[in-house]
Amino acid sequence: MRSSFAHAAERLAFGILVATLFLAPFPVASNRDGPVGITSTVLAFAVFCFLLAKALGFADSRTPPATRLGTTFLGLIALVVGWVWLGPLVHHFPALDVARAEVYQLKALAYWCVPALVMFTTRTRKRFIILLTTIVVSGTLEAILAVVSLSSQTEFSLLGTAFPPGQRAQGTFANSDHFANYMAMCMALALGLMLATAEARGRTLPGWRGKLLGLLNFLLSKRMLVRLAVIIMVIGLVLTRSRMGNASFFFGLFFFLYAVAWAWPHKRQAALWLGISLLVIDLVVIGQWVGLEHVVERLQNTELSMGAEQDEGPTGANQRAPGQEETVAERLAIGQDGFKLALTSPWVGHGPATFFTLFPQYKRPAIDIWVEHAHNDYAELASDLGLPALLTLGGAVCLSLLQWAQLMRSPSSGFVKGVVSGAGMAVVCLLMHAWVDFNLHIHANAMLFTVALALPFALSRFTRTRHAGKTAH
């Protein structure tokens, strides 16, 4: 009885994790006070369920404990979360807004709970597939909603946020660029799932008959459904017209292909054809159909306005011609001034969620727009929490990438390498986008990012499980 209850509590913890990740993007990317409170509370309850299961004697002999790297990874995140919660109690932050700080604390709690649950409850191949499939389905539904609302020019409101008809897809995200980053990470994990579930073929027919048979097997497999999901999400990504969203996806895709070619020689051809199909079929053929030229146009306008700013001087931002995009310098200016703000209190920061309050005192006169977040996650984290906290989080990311590299170079199974390669691509997409946007401050995006960071550690336990099983036999 006690054992069955422990197993039920552990399964409930995993179910809560999966349900939270599935629902996260729909209520305005869970980036409003209500969704933040709900998601953080249920995730904390899920961790409690898992701890209760362990206390009641739940133990899976097939699953070894977390690696030293994984334990250190969770410890580093816990240090930052602890500072977010305890900092306002032990240090006086003059600009602290209590209400904003409480929401910030709830978000931070979720960003520890999600990777912990991924590492300790995702312990079988079936659960990895459930987790990734849930994310892919959620991203696909979000992309469909974005495409339909944009094409029909539907106006709706959600949790007090108006979504008027526009020219850029955004789904239920308040900002098209954040929606683009969410699409990029979902597609990265989908590509990893496709490679992971590709069954090793035995002897095949020679020549064109073997290739035709392989193509038919793919078209009739479940991987084809994932491929169709990727096509739908590519359409959603292109329709955002997000410059860095599309650029980070391209960069992440090349990283994905290089990683597979580097560490997985017998999958090079499959990865190459997958990359070619994404570039040619999705981004060129389908992209031209749904408006890839608008993304190119935005990039061209950005380049032109850069030249204009160089001719006009530092006030050129206020003399932008109609239709021109903000320059790269203008986009980076907020982040640069954010780092200046961070350096005024480099050790402890100014307190959680204080950037919004303090930034007007430090921004340059040319920035004449309302700024709630720095268009640079690194600058805002340094400003709010201090440089040591930023470096601690950077250390956690580095540990994840180190575990990623170890798994890619080890004689792991094709399933492990496939999932890990997709997770690495997702991490790269967000890290690149974070230089010009604030996706780490968007609840749905940040939670998905922590999933990608935790997957290599969860898979390292899965790998050791398989190795132990082979040794026993």
Q: What are phi and psi of 176, to 5 degrees?
A: -65, -35
The stretches of 220-327 forming alpha helices (DSSP H) are: 223-240, 243-263, 268-276, 287-290, 292-312
Per-residue pLDDT band for 280 (boundaries 50, 70, 90) equals confident
| Range picked from 53-57, 201-205, 413-417 for highest mean pLDDT | 413-417
Looking at every residue in the chain, the average pLDDT score rounds to: 85
Q: Residue 448 falls within a domain, yes or no? A: yes
Q: What is the pLDDT of residue 453?
A: 98
Which DSSP letter does residue 32 get? Answer: S
Average pLDDT for 169-191: 96
Q: Residue 431 falls within a domain, yes or no? A: yes
Q: Is the pLDDT of residue 173 over 70?
A: yes
Instruction: Measure the CA–CA gap between 48 and 214, rounded to whole angstroms.
Output: 46
The stretches of 347-442 forming alpha helices (DSSP H) are: 355-358, 377-385, 387-409, 414-433
Give the global pTM: 0.90
Check residues 62 and 338 and name the one with the higher pLDDT. Answer: 338
Using DSSP's 3-state secondary structure scheme, residue 162 falls into strand
Q: Residue 283 falls within a domain, yes or no? A: yes
Q: What is the pLDDT of residue 364?
A: 85
Q: What is the pLDDT of residue 472?
A: 39
Q: Residue 385 falls within a domain, yes or no? A: yes
Using DSSP's 3-state secondary structure scheme, residue 473 falls into coil
Percent of the chain with pLDDT over 70: 80
Q: Residue 29 falls within a domain, yes or no? A: no
End-to-end Cα distance, the chain: 30
Give 10-21 pLDDT, tens digit per residue: 999 999 999 999
Q: Is the pLDDT of residue 275 over 80?
A: no
Q: Residue 391 falls within a domain, yes or no? A: yes
Check residues 206 and 113 and name the one with the higher pLDDT. Answer: 113
Check residues 67 and 321 and name the one with the higher pLDDT. Answer: 67
73-82, 254-263, 445-454: least confident range: 254-263
Q: Residue 2 falls within a domain, yes or no? A: no
Q: Residue 307 falls within a domain, yes or no? A: no
Instruction: Measure the CA–CA gap between 416 and 304, rounded to whole angstroms.
Output: 45
How many residues make up the chain in this entry?
473
Using DSSP's 3-state secondary structure scheme, residue 158 falls into strand
Instruction: Measure the CA–CA gap between 272 and 114, rounded to whole angstroms.
Output: 33
Q: What's the number of domains the chain is made of?
A: 1
Using DSSP's 3-state secondary structure scheme, residue 156 falls into strand
Q: Is the pLDDT of residue 333 over 90?
A: no
Query: Which residues does 252 contact at the CB level (< 8 Å), separation at least 6?
Result: 184, 188, 425, 426, 428, 429, 432
**Residue numbers of the domain that contains 142:** 118-296+374-472
Q: What is the pLDDT of residue 431?
A: 97
Check residues 151 and 430 and name the one with the higher pLDDT. Answer: 430
Q: What is the pLDDT of residue 99?
A: 95
Per-residue pLDDT band for 198 (boundaries 50, 70, 90) equals confident
